[in-house]
Amino acid sequence: METLDFDFPADAPIRQRAHVGVVGSGDLEILIEPDPGDASRISVCTSVDGYGEIWRRVLQRVFERHPVRARVRINDFGATPGVVALRLEQALEASRR
């Protein structure tokens, strides 16, 4: 188990909390909520150690496109980078409704 924390500059608030995905074989869950700060704050709890740089790159790519001020918690059970990006997009869409 590894826990990773990331911050990315942000200026757009999200409207509401959202929860997508489930923790299970090859998947992950994302919980996103508004944050009053000036950044996106992401905490990743993953079952796969040693992939911090991959996580940083995937998250950076998403949050460069969507500079939202949010607190994001990700619980991972071996999801691929494509699944991570898909779930983040889903969570961001759900938080805008």
Predicted local distance difference test score (pLDDT) of residue 26: 76
What length does the chain have?
Answer: 97
78 by Cβ neighbours in 10 Å (0-12 / 13-18 / 19+) ranks as middle
Share of the chain above pLDDT 70, in %: 100
Q: Which two tokens stand for residue 77?
A: 């059970």
| Residue 6 parent element (H or E) | strand 2-9
Q: With contact defined as beta carbons under 8 Å apart, do 14 and 32 qualify?
A: yes
| Cα–Cα distance, 27 to 17 (Å, whole number) | 20
Which pTM was predicted?
0.93
Per domain, the residue ranges of the chain are: 2-95
Looking at residue 71, its pLDDT comes to 97
Q: Which fold has domain 2-95?
A: Ribosomal Protein S5; domain 2 (3.30.230)
Taking only the tens place, the pLDDT of each residue in 13-42 is 999 999 999 887 778 999 999 999 999 999
